[in-house]
Chain A
Amino acid sequence: MVILGGSGSGKTTILRLILGLYRPDQGSIHLAGHDITALRERDLFEIRQQMAMVFQGSALFDSLTVRENVGYRLWEQGRLSDERIDQTVRESLQFVGLEDTIDKMPAELSGGMRKRVGIARALASGAKVLLYDEPTAGLDPINTCTINRLILRLKAKGVTQVVVTHDLETAYRVADRIVMIHKGRIIFEGTPEGLQRSTAPAIRGFIEPGSLSAEREAFPSPDNPLY
């Protein structure tokens, strides 16, 4: 599923609420039969084990190597042997095409490589649900394409994924279902085709940013000569 929307519309906040990193002011969030808003931080750690997040800025741990970053959760859990963890780390890195970076530090990697290591970390954790916060933001078209392909390959493997993005190309490419958010509210829920056919001004404005309706949406002042 893709959560689509402009900057500041509340997309990332939704991901953080799902992970329990933020507490909602009101309402409730149900995950795997639990109302996570009622849980203490320590109890949330159990719930979070079922999910993994790829952060917008990758959020790789600076002081750890790529190997340690990717295998972090497995080492923390302490359930597997070092050999088994190492094998999982290598497989995850192989999946994202970065097995030769295993002993590098995050500072030695490019932006696109860091994003892919972030995906490998999420993958190695064995989480049932992967959450992506703007996975293609700030990347060149080739890296964007690589990340989209990785998401599609994981989709083909049956991994549940929630992608937050403002990138239409990514949304159309990877989504089964799109939810569009505008000013903190859901204004569309459906297929990529349904989104493209929508005539709602806010959606048209987002899809065709050069159009008249988009200008009005962006500058809704009565002084605007477009009115």
Chain B
Amino acid sequence: MSAETFNIRSKLIGYVLVVQEFTFLCGQVLAALVRPPWYVRDMVLQIDRIGVGSLFIVVLTGMFTGMVLALQGAVQLEPYGATIYVSRLISTSVVRELGPVLAALMIAGRVGSGIASEIASMKVTEQIDALRAEGTDPIQKLATTRLVACVLMIPVLTIITNGIAIFGGWLVARLYLGIDSYFYWTWAFEAIHHRDIILGLVKPAVFGFIIAMVGCYAGFHTKGGTVGVGVSTTQSMVSSSILILASDFLLTKLFMAFP
């Protein structure tokens, strides 16, 4: 076997091993969810950190997304004399796709990398070992609390992002495009169906799972010192962003398969 073939083989085995370890960690965390202790105080703390702490960035993300969509949408609809329907374009695209994905990407940057770096720092400073030595299951204490917080709070943050985006679109539509508020809000709500709302809530919950688990995996599998912490943080951010985009496609396709 040539050195190059050996390298490719080792890399492939490495990737399979990562998937295996990640799946194993997910299983451990899900199993830990249903057995005590539940660390309610830590969960509330994480909900505050992840939910309230991310409020500002999702408000900004939503506001600018909605405003840009209104501007771009108006340019596309103007030749057909359909500028009045810009709110339909904004509400459907935001609720179905942009709101969940953009909010999740922003939260992955803030929360996912934060989870990874915090757990990674604990790993390299022996705090994870200290938890185990004290008789505490680190997965139960650190991973389940963050998973619950992400799965609960990211849908809430997405709803806020969606609302702010539609509001941002209204600002541009009203002040710049001169569209009547009544028409804007009527068409905005009329365009959203029950399916969109369900999809818009299922997606953030899945993204929350991805952000929490990728962050925890990167943190728990940190090797080396401070360099390892940096590598884990970067890996968490990159991996969760890719997984969010890939799972967004798969979820959309899945929902389309069941009309």
Select which of A16, A21, A48, A55 is within 8 A of B135 by beta carbon: A48
Could you say which of B109-117, B123-131, B234-242 contacts chain A?
B123-131
Which residues between 16 and 73 of chain A lie within 8 Å of chain B, taking CB atoms? 16, 19, 21, 41-42, 45-46, 48-49, 51-53, 55-57, 59-62, 72-73
Select which of A21, A60, A61, A62 is within 8 A of B132 by beta carbon: A21
Closest chain-A Cβ to B79's Cβ sits at a distance in Å of 57
Bound Cα distance A76, B140 (Å): 13
Which residues between 107 and 149 of chain B lie within 8 Å of chain A, taking CB atoms? 121-122, 125-127, 129-137
Closest chain-A Cβ to B53's Cβ sits at a distance in Å of 15
Instruction: Say yes or no: B137 contacts A41, CB within 8 Å.
Output: yes
**A88 an interface residue at 8 Å Cβ cutoff?**
no
Select which of B125, B131, B132 is within 8 A of A57 by beta carbon: B125
Bound Cα distance A61, B81 (Å): 63
* Interface 1/0 per residue, B207-235 and A, CB below 8 Å: 00000000000000000000000000000
Closest chain-A Cβ to B194's Cβ sits at a distance in Å of 42
Instruction: Say yes or no: A21 contacts B133, CB within 8 Å.
Output: yes
Instruction: Say yes or no: B133 contacts A51, CB within 8 Å.
Output: yes
Bound Cα distance A55, B126 (Å): 8
**A161 an interface residue at 8 Å Cβ cutoff?**
no
Number of A-B contacts (CB under 8 A): 54
Given contacts A41-B137, A45-B137, contact A59 B125 (CB under 8 A): yes
Given contacts A42-B137, A45-B137, contact A55 B130 (CB under 8 A): yes
Closest chain-B Cβ to A155's Cβ sits at a distance in Å of 21
Contacts of B125 in A (CB 8 A): 57, 59, 62
Question: Which of B130, B131, B132, B137 has the largest number of chain A CB atoms within 10 A?
Answer: B130
* Interface 1/0 per residue, A69-108 and B, CB below 8 Å: 0001100110000000000000000000000000000000
B32: nearest residue on chain A (CB-CB)?
A: A42
**A125 an interface residue at 8 Å Cβ cutoff?**
yes
Bound Cα distance A77, B135 (Å): 9
Contacts of B122 in A (CB 8 A): 61-62
Contacts of A21 in B (CB 8 A): 129, 132-133
Instruction: Say yes or no: B132 contacts A48, CB within 8 Å.
Output: yes
Closest chain-A Cβ to B229's Cβ sits at a distance in Å of 13
Contacts of A45 in B (CB 8 A): 132, 135-137
Closest chain-B Cβ to A25's Cβ sits at a distance in Å of 19
Select which of A41, A51, A57, A73 is within 8 A of B126 by beta carbon: A57
Contacts of A76 in B (CB 8 A): 37, 134-136
Closest chain-B Cβ to A119's Cβ sits at a distance in Å of 13
Select which of A16, A42, A62, A73 is within 8 A of B134 by beta carbon: A73
Closest chain-B Cβ to A36's Cβ sits at a distance in Å of 13
Which residues between 55 and 97 of chain B lie within 8 Å of chain A, taking CB atoms? none
B134: nearest residue on chain A (CB-CB)?
A: A73
Select which of B126, B129, B134, B137 is within 8 A of A72 by beta carbon: B134
Instruction: Say yes or no: A55 contacts B129, CB within 8 Å.
Output: yes
Contacts of A57 in B (CB 8 A): 125-126
Contacts of A46 in B (CB 8 A): 135
Instruction: Say yes or no: A125 contacts B126, CB within 8 Å.
Output: no
Instruction: Say yes or no: A125 contacts B121, CB within 8 Å.
Output: no
Bound Cα distance A134, B136 (Å): 23
Contacts of B121 in A (CB 8 A): 62
Bound Cα distance A78, B6 (Å): 53
9 closest residue pairs by CB, A with B: A59-B130, A59-B126, A45-B135, A53-B133, A55-B126, A73-B134, A48-B135, A49-B135, A59-B127
Task: Name 17 extra pairs, CB < 8 A, besides A21-B132, A45-B132, A62-B122.
Answer: A19-B132, A19-B133, A48-B132, A48-B133, A53-B130, A53-B133, A57-B125, A59-B126, A59-B127, A59-B130, A62-B125, A62-B127, A72-B134, A73-B135, A76-B135, A77-B135, A125-B134
29 contacts between A and B (CB under 8 A): A19-B133, A41-B137, A42-B137, A45-B135, A45-B137, A46-B135, A48-B132, A48-B135, A49-B135, A51-B133, A52-B133, A52-B134, A53-B133, A55-B129, A55-B130, A55-B133, A59-B125, A59-B130, A61-B122, A61-B127, A61-B131, A62-B125, A72-B134, A73-B134, A73-B135, A76-B135, A76-B136, A77-B135, A125-B134
